[in-house]
Amino acid sequence: MFEKRAFTIQEQIAQLKSRGLIINPEDEAEHFLSHISYYRLGEYWYVMQKDKVEHIFKPNSKFADVIALYNFDRELRILLFDVIEKLEISLRTKMIYHLSLEFDAWWFQNFELFQDSRALVKTLANLEEEISRTKDVTIKSHFKKHKDDLRFPPAWKSLEQTSFGALSKLYGNLKSTVKSKDIIAREYGAVNHTYLPSWLQSISQIRNFCAHHSRLWNRNLPGAPKLLSKPPHKWIGEVPSQGQFQYLYIHLCLMKYMLNIVQPVNHFTEKLNALFIKYPNVDQNALGMKSGWQKEPLWI
């Protein structure tokens, strides 16, 4: 049975010091621990421990470095969330446009267009929930004006209420015979629908980490995106082995690849590089970053 009691902030600081973490008065440890939980910060000082059982720190481990690492991770999530917002709006636009023209405005609830009907039911149930609680004037006005129409509002209204994850699932679930599936993939430089679903899934999971303020640094990411052997647009010359796909780097590359299409003039490279310069003690290997990544054709 779990029997650990809660510690006061002063007790937390005392315990960290007893385990070898250097905490100076100017570190304002009490302030930080009153606003960022001990457990959350523990995800960042874990790698500083030489004994993971007794939680003994390596020599010269500093609380200030823990806070720097925490702030780096926070700023990285903010940067990526900004990039993903652009990709999400673009994907939503392309799906609404191409599929509504190929079929009609209610293609997203047409079970004949999808491979997995059970997955579609879940997606539509989530969409129904989002629409039922939205304060969006467009949706409310639609239902008021079309009381006799029991369908969802058309795609250009309904899908504005969906998350990136839902859009990713809708796209991936489309049958391969749907022409728009390949058209959208080609427009993102993915050649065909074989590759894009795994890219979207990768970006979706990272978006969820960002939205829930979860750690990205030194995190093993599940799933492995499928990569093109010869992408039609600028890519990286040195591709990590598939065993390295759990690190963030290859996922950053996919985001950059798509962003270069969505927003050809962007400052992702400069902002990411500036972040590493601002926090020089951050171990870039924990993100799988390649030496000289800024000089790769994709990032120039």
- pLDDT, tens digit (0-9, with 9 covering 90-100), for 168-216: 999 999 999 999 999 999 999 999 999 999 999 999 999 999 999 999 9
Predicted local distance difference test score (pLDDT) of residue 172 = 97
Pair 101, 25 in one domain: no
Pair 177, 218 in one domain: yes
Answer yes or no: is pLDDT of 3 > 80: no
What's the whole-number mean pLDDT along residues 98-123? 97
Q: Is there a domain that residue 261 lies in?
A: yes
Pair 90, 223 in one domain: yes
Pair 256, 202 in one domain: yes
26 lies in which domain range? 9-61
Pair 25, 82 in one domain: no
Predicted local distance difference test score (pLDDT) of residue 4 = 81
Q: For the chain, how many structural domains are there in total?
A: 2
Q: What is the mean pLDDT of the chain?
A: 95
Question: What digits encode the pLDDT tens for the residues 257-268?
Answer: 999 999 999 999
Question: What digits encode the pLDDT tens for the residues 73-82?
Answer: 999 999 999 9
Pair 174, 253 in one domain: yes
What's the whole-number mean pLDDT along residues 37-62? 96
Pair 47, 173 in one domain: no
Pair 178, 205 in one domain: yes
Question: What digits encode the pLDDT tens for the residues 49-58?
Answer: 999 999 999 9
Predicted local distance difference test score (pLDDT) of residue 175 = 98
Percent of the chain with pLDDT over 90: 91
Q: Is there a domain that residue 123 lies in?
A: no
Pair 198, 87 in one domain: yes
Q: Could you tell me if 171 and 183 are in contact, meaning their C-beta atoms sit under 8 angstroms apart? A: no
Confidence band for 150, pLDDT divided at 50, 70 and 90: confident
Confidence band for 140, pLDDT divided at 50, 70 and 90: very high
Q: Is there a domain that residue 193 lies in?
A: yes
Pair 181, 243 in one domain: yes
Predicted local distance difference test score (pLDDT) of residue 268 = 98
Confidence band for 1, pLDDT divided at 50, 70 and 90: confident
Q: Is there a domain that residue 146 lies in?
A: no
The residue ranking higher by pLDDT, 74 or 147, is: 74
Q: Is there a domain that residue 135 lies in?
A: no
Q: Is there a domain that residue 95 lies in?
A: yes
> Among 243, 252, 262, which Cα is nearest to 299's?
252
Pair 25, 91 in one domain: no
Q: Is there a domain that residue 48 lies in?
A: yes
Residue at which a domain ends, from 23, 43, 61: 61
Q: Is there a domain that residue 130 lies in?
A: no
Pair 46, 175 in one domain: no
